[in-house]
Amino acid sequence: MGKKWIPIESNPAVLNDYAKKLGFDIGKYAFCDILGLDEELLAMVPSPVVAVILLFPVTDKYQALKGAEDEDLKAAGYKGGPASLYFMKQTISNACGTIGVLHAIGNNLDKAELEDSSFFQRFFADTKEMSPADRGAYLLNPPPDAPDLDEAHHAAAQEGATAPPPLEEAVNLHFAALVERDGRLWELDGCKSFPIDHGPTSPATLLHDAAGVARAFMASTESLSFTLLALAAPDQEYLVQHEIDAA
């Protein structure tokens, strides 16, 4: 990957502001913290949840497991998920936060409200029939008349509770999204060859089934450095309590 961005912080305030600037209606759905994986903390997440974004460490063990997984799927002739599943490849270093947001929203366009002439509206319209690789190439080199994402991403990377790392610094954290499609739980990671099927789920059980995947990630990578966010439908009380500007 030749092009490189400063990574975005795994922070719902940052992602909500970013998504809103790109044309997403934050009043209907918003990114929310998942504070833990036990039942009491999961119950605090607004409902319904339509996507989960997972931030996790890229350890040597994870890289080995990822490579083996890709080879096994290729050997089995795996072609990916259903045609209705929106999946794209990552072509820009440190763009995994943006890819996670695109996967979360792109698989919920039937629920999302997008602003006319916004980046999201143009991007999803233009890439609807593209392959995952072509979607990644579009993000890397958008048409001259398309809205530019570089400036918006750079601005989002300057926000958050911690100072952004220097552009040249290696980052060993990575985002992936978990969504429901056709009754299955799909892991969407732009650095993997395919969407990964994690078994049956439903709109009602997506959060709990995604929590199970997160627990398995923690066990497989032998690390507890994980952050989870949900794309969920907050009520007005939640918007006010968490200072989410839906206007």
Tens of pLDDT along 87-103? Answer: 999 999 989 999 999 99
- 98 Cβ contact list (under 8 Å, min separation 6): 5, 8, 139, 149, 153
Tokens of 9: 């912080």
Residue 58's domain comprises: 12-241
CA dist., res. 124 & res. 206, Å (int): 23
For residue 232, list its beta bridge partners: 30, 49
Q: Is residue 246 part of a domain?
A: no
CA dist., res. 190 & res. 95, Å (int): 9
Q: Is residue 247 part of a domain?
A: no
pLDDT for residue 169? 62
Burial bucket for residue 48 (CB in 10 Å: 0-12, 13-18, 19+): middle
> What CATH number should be reported for the domain holding residue 144?
3.40.532.10
CA dist., res. 172 & res. 56, Å (int): 9
Ranges of beta strands (E only) in the chain are 30-34, 49-57, 173-181, 184-188, 196-200, 227-232
Is the pTM higher than 0.85? The answer reads: yes
pLDDT for residue 63? 75
Number of residues in the chain: 247
pLDDT for residue 148? 76
Q: Is residue 134 part of a domain?
A: yes
Say how many domains are in the chain: 1
pLDDT for residue 222? 66
User: Looking at the annotation, which residues are catalytic?
Assistant: 96, 174
- Using the structure block, give the residue that is written with the tokens 């040597």: 60
Give 68-90 pLDDT, tens digit per residue: 777 878 777 777 889 999 999 99
Q: Is residue 169 part of a domain?
A: yes
Q: Is residue 5 part of a domain?
A: no
Q: Is residue 86 part of a domain?
A: yes
Q: Is residue 151 part of a domain?
A: yes
pLDDT for residue 167? 66
Q: Which ranges of the chain have pLDDT less than 70?
A: 1, 163-171, 221-224, 242, 246-247
Rg (CA), the chain: 17
* Amino acid residing at 94: N
Q: Is residue 212 part of a domain?
A: yes
